[in-house]
Structure 1
Amino acid sequence: MTTLPLAPDPKLYNDDLAPVPHDRRPWNWLNLATIWMGMVHNIVVYEAAAGLMALGFSAVECLEVVAVAYAVLFIAMCLNAVSGTRYGLPFCVLIRSAFGPVGAQLPVLLRGFCAIFWFSVQAYAASQAVDAIMMTVWPAWQTLSITWLGMTMHGWCALALIWALHGWIMNHGIQSIGRFELVAGPLVIIMGAGAALWGLSVGHGIGPLFALPSHLHGWAFAGTFAGGVTGIMGMWASFAVNVPDLSRFVRSQRDQIIGQFIGLPVTALIFTPMAIVTTSATVIVFGHAIWNPVDLLLALNNTTVTLLGGATIVIATLSVNVVANIMPACYDLINLMPRRLDFHRSAYLVLILGLAFMPWLWFTQATSVFALLNIISGLLGPVTGVMLADYFVRRRQLLSLPDLYRRDGLYEGLYGWGVAAILAFIIGGFLAVIGAFVPTLALLNKLSWFVGCGVSFTLYLVFSQSGSIDKRRLLPNVPRVRHEQGNM
């Protein structure tokens, strides 16, 4: 492990937050690509094609929206991953250079809340799949019909199984996540390809959905296109912030770029047509489109297909939940209490907190849940903008490792608060979400991620260069510490 030149503050440091040295970074481009494959292949992304077509796009235009969204995501992810790969640091530590050691808790808490909530919702969705599948292959399962806290006993059993699977994977540590994704990512795409081949066979071609024309033209098309791109990016806005949590374990910048290119835009452009072709087949077989893969398995009523498909859905959910939600939430919790929490303890705490959200009750108000999560995701665009501006422009890709783990150092700001970052975040976040509440500003809502990221990027540089309040101006005797790359 990298030795820090100065004694770190125990409130800001433990072994899980320390820089990962190069000789302890096991992931190459293939590991990262399969991790992203596992995350891109999930029920939410599968159903996103339905949402786009419901807006009036043709199948080809859906692919264009997906291509633009994932191209922008790829650029944002790669840029924000650079610092993680260079220094081996997680998001919750890197963010201190802009927001300060105390102010950093604001975006960390926001990201942590979003991660645990998404984990809870997606894990419950997977438990519903398990519940439905068990009722198909074992009819006696549904006799466990006693209701407790708003859920049947067979629902509780399915939920317990899903929670236990998440705990089992997390109990084996970071390295096991890489090995799990190495299998899970390709397995999900193989099963998706099998479903697409079934669709091509049943439909004798690409199917009726590809034959549907576009219903959008002119400005209506442009506005809806922008909203579609923003909507897809909203699903990944939280991960654009904490991608260093993954890239810190990657051997080189080349590996992280190649891995993310294959895992993000390439995989998305392969997976989306699979979803459309498979759904086209349901129009022919059942007379209407079935976009939910669980509903499709139940409609097919084939035990073998149900078992294989159900297992794939569960694996896909585990893939996205472990890497995109539990792992970043663990680092966020460790950052709050580094003296009491390590990775394993925080993983169990995430499982408990996720259960405390009682997602089965929230599912009765699905519109409210996703409206809340979309607002939170919109607020994370400004965090991305601040991080990129701070690292690439203000710091010129040079960070002082010792100062990231101490108070009264280079990143102290005003009593631990990075005022420029906080102001840029508040203003950018306000503009990103105001369109959701003020109809006349609806255009801002359609471009919320871009507005929040762009405004915060610009304002942070303006505020940080305009003599904004800095504790160093109040404490002139505190020496400036030279930027260091560290012994990586």
Structure 2
Amino acid sequence: MDHAESGTMAADGGFAGDTGLFNADLAPVPPAGRDWSWVNMSTVWMGMVHNVVAYEAAAGLMQLGLSALQSLAAVAVAYFVLFVAMWFNARPGTAYGIPFCVLIRSSFGPRGAQLPVVIRGFCAIFWFAVQGYAGSLAIDAIIGTLIPAWNTLTMPILGMALKGWVAVALFWALHAWIVSHGVHRIRNFELIAGPLVILVGLLATAWGLTVAHGVGPLFDQPSRLTGTDAWLTFCVGVTGMIGIWSTFAVNIPDLSRFVRSERDQVIGQLIGLPLTAIVFTAMSVVTTSATILVFGHPIWDPVQLLLALHEPWVLLLGGVTIIVATLSVNVAANIMPAAYDLVNLMPRRLGFNSASMLVLVIGLFFAPWLWFHNANSIFAVLGGIGGLLGPVTGIMLTDYYLIRRQRLSVPELYRYEGRYAGRGGWNPAGVWAFLIGGTCALIGAVVPALHTIYAFAWFIGIAVGAAVYGVLATRRRAVEGLSPARA
């Protein structure tokens, strides 16, 4: 161990940890600082659920051939499963005030934890780039409506028109403004953003019901799939919807660490996640079904729908809503966890604000404009991410509830030596469970004969990861004679 790793630094209340694992942004939130109520938790989730990618993913289920009712059923199943996973994975954050990148050290070791943290950070930045590009399309459409000359800025640069680059730059600047004052500004922004998006979503739903003259014609659109194809597509849809939030099922402690009680986090997530998500999805399905009646084909991109309506005031109102919704999900679900992950990698060099700005820069290198407009590519990426992070969720749940029995030594989570050190900072049980679970989940993507099981990637990953970790960690405890508290 080098000198930098063995040093300590003080925090509030005299808490100390090794400098390679600790700084003020990673320190446990003291009970007095956990002031988020269930209202804050639910509005944060409202702001995250109401986003362009979730809208397009739900509407994209219909483009893949499912009926409106089948699409709603797929979403309901996915979000109920997610709620249960997030409910249980959020509890240690609320109980101990620690973020994901610290909690994961319990099951992977202080050095091994960097593996899931890097993958989670990569996914968060990827989604930031996707959402950011989606929001920039709304800015492009609004400016093009107000200033027709804007639409002549079509010179291509690295696969995107000049006007697109300017729109991206403007949207990135809005992100920077919101995150520049830390977590509390994010919380306050979500109090406004979540309810606003619901209101405009209701207007879009009213339009859909008006042009269809009621609910009947919208839900009478039959499925284009039958038999096995219908069930496999349904499973792909469920896994894909889970894939949108599988990243957050892992790092939900990043939010729950600020919540004042277990009751607040459960009620807040129940209202903000499955209930709001199902309502929002119903809105997107109704609206997309209406586009089939009006235009003869589904329009699953909300910006393209706004342009197709040829009403400037509708475009402005809808475009601003898309911008607010995208900012809402990006700052809470993508920038915030990615920033914590970067701080965890370099705690002596980065704080939350500087790490947030670094996320904005790195996000550009994902170039989402090169592949964004394709429902199949979105579901392929969603399924892959879900399969890869499923094992991490399973490992975390097994470690906290079965191996640790909900008891953690918080000071030792910030040290290279101690009960969580494993072997040289690596917990073999966590690493092997992740590798085996991830392989089982994703093998269907590369082996044609096993392609069918890829539709269940997240479920396979979480089950295999949990089972392998449980066996290996229990065996280690038995061999070494450790109690649950010392395992």
The letter for the 2-side match of 1:49 is: A
- Does the Cα contact within 8 Å between 1:200 and 1:207 map onto a contact in 2? no
The letter for the 2-side match of 1:115 is: A
1:227 Cα offset (Å)? 2.5
Q: Trace 1:187-266 onto structure 2 (pairs within 5 A).
A: 187-206=196-215, 208-216=217-225, 218-266=227-275
| C-alpha distance 365-194 of structure 1, shift in aligned 2 (>3 A) | closer
Match of 2:172 among 157, 163, 166: 163
Cα deviation per residue 1:205-260 (whole Å; 9 max; x = unaligned)? 02533112345555544433322211211111111100100101111111111111
- Mapped to 2, the partners of 1:342 and 1:251 lie a distance apart of 24
- Mapped to 1, the partners of 2:292 and 2:111 lie a distance apart of 55
| C-alpha distance 116-469 of structure 1, shift in aligned 2 (>3 A) | farther
Cα deviation per residue 1:129-170 (whole Å; 9 max; x = unaligned)? 211221122102123344444433322221111000000000
Is 1:333 aligned to residue 329 of structure 2?
no
Match of 1:95 in 2: 104
Secondary structure, counterpart of 1:318 in structure 2: helix
| C-alpha distance 250-27 of structure 1, shift in aligned 2 (>3 A) | same
- Mapped to 1, the partners of 2:312 and 2:452 lie a distance apart of 48
- Does the Cα contact within 8 Å between 2:242 and 2:386 map onto a contact in 1? no
- Mapped to 2, the partners of 1:277 and 1:71 lie a distance apart of 21
Is 1:347 aligned to residue 356 of structure 2?
yes
Match of 2:23 among 14, 34, 40: 14
1:289 Cα offset (Å)? 2.5
1:188 Cα offset (Å)? 0.4
My pick for the range that moved more, 410-419 or 40-49, is 40-49
| C-alpha distance 195-253 of structure 1, shift in aligned 2 (>3 A) | same
Secondary structure, counterpart of 1:8 in structure 2: strand
- Does the Cα contact within 8 Å between 2:190 and 2:328 map onto a contact in 1? yes
My pick for the range that moved more, 333-342 or 352-361, is 352-361
Match of 1:73 in 2: 82
The letter for the 2-side match of 1:142 is: N
Q: Trace 1:232-311 onto structure 2 (pairs within 5 A).
A: 232-311=241-320
Q: Trace 1:147-158 onto structure 2 (pairs within 5 A).
A: 147-158=156-167
- Does the Cα contact within 8 Å between 2:391 and 2:461 map onto a contact in 1? yes
Is 1:41 aligned to residue 42 of structure 2?
no
User: How many residue pairs align between the two structures?
Assistant: 477
| C-alpha distance 407-158 of structure 1, shift in aligned 2 (>3 A) | same
Match of 2:388 among 374, 379, 382: 379
Is 1:130 aligned to residue 139 of structure 2?
yes
The letter for the 1-side match of 2:345 is: L
Cα deviation per residue 1:38-57 (whole Å; 9 max; x = unaligned)? 11111222122333223443
| C-alpha distance 467-281 of structure 1, shift in aligned 2 (>3 A) | closer
| C-alpha distance 300-433 of structure 1, shift in aligned 2 (>3 A) | same
1:364 Cα offset (Å)? 8.3
- Does the Cα contact within 8 Å between 1:39 and 1:320 map onto a contact in 2? yes
- Does the Cα contact within 8 Å between 2:60 and 2:375 map onto a contact in 1? no
Match of 1:3 in 2: 13
- Does the Cα contact within 8 Å between 1:49 and 1:275 map onto a contact in 2? yes
- Mapped to 2, the partners of 1:369 and 1:215 lie a distance apart of 20
Match of 1:392 in 2: 401
- Mapped to 2, the partners of 1:217 and 1:366 lie a distance apart of 20
The letter for the 2-side match of 1:338 is: P
Is 1:433 aligned to residue 465 of structure 2?
no
1:24 Cα offset (Å)? 0.8
- Does the Cα contact within 8 Å between 1:136 and 1:298 map onto a contact in 2? no
1:64 Cα offset (Å)? 1.6
1:339 Cα offset (Å)? 0.7
The letter for the 2-side match of 1:401 is: V
- Mapped to 2, the partners of 1:184 and 1:441 lie a distance apart of 43
Match of 2:148 among 120, 139, 152: 139
| C-alpha distance 219-359 of structure 1, shift in aligned 2 (>3 A) | closer
- Does the Cα contact within 8 Å between 2:384 and 2:457 map onto a contact in 1? no
1:469 Cα offset (Å)? 11
The letter for the 2-side match of 1:434 is: I
Q: TM-score, normalised on structure 1?
A: 0.92
Structure 2 residue runs of 5 or longer lacking an equivalent are 1-10
- Mapped to 2, the partners of 1:469 and 1:147 lie a distance apart of 62
Q: TM-score, normalised on structure 2?
A: 0.92
Match of 1:316 among 296, 300, 325: 325
- Mapped to 1, the partners of 2:163 and 2:72 lie a distance apart of 39
Secondary structure, counterpart of 2:425 in structure 1: coil
1:30 Cα offset (Å)? 1.0
- Does the Cα contact within 8 Å between 1:435 and 1:442 map onto a contact in 2? yes
1:481 Cα offset (Å)? 12
1:468 Cα offset (Å)? 7.9
- Mapped to 2, the partners of 1:483 and 1:465 lie a distance apart of 12
Secondary structure, counterpart of 1:103 in structure 2: coil
The letter for the 2-side match of 1:328 is: P
- Mapped to 1, the partners of 2:464 and 2:407 lie a distance apart of 23
Identity of aligned residues (%): 59
My pick for the range that moved more, 360-369 or 215-224, is 360-369
Match of 1:461 among 470, 475, 481: 470
- Mapped to 1, the partners of 2:483 and 2:76 lie a distance apart of 45
The letter for the 1-side match of 2:441 is: A
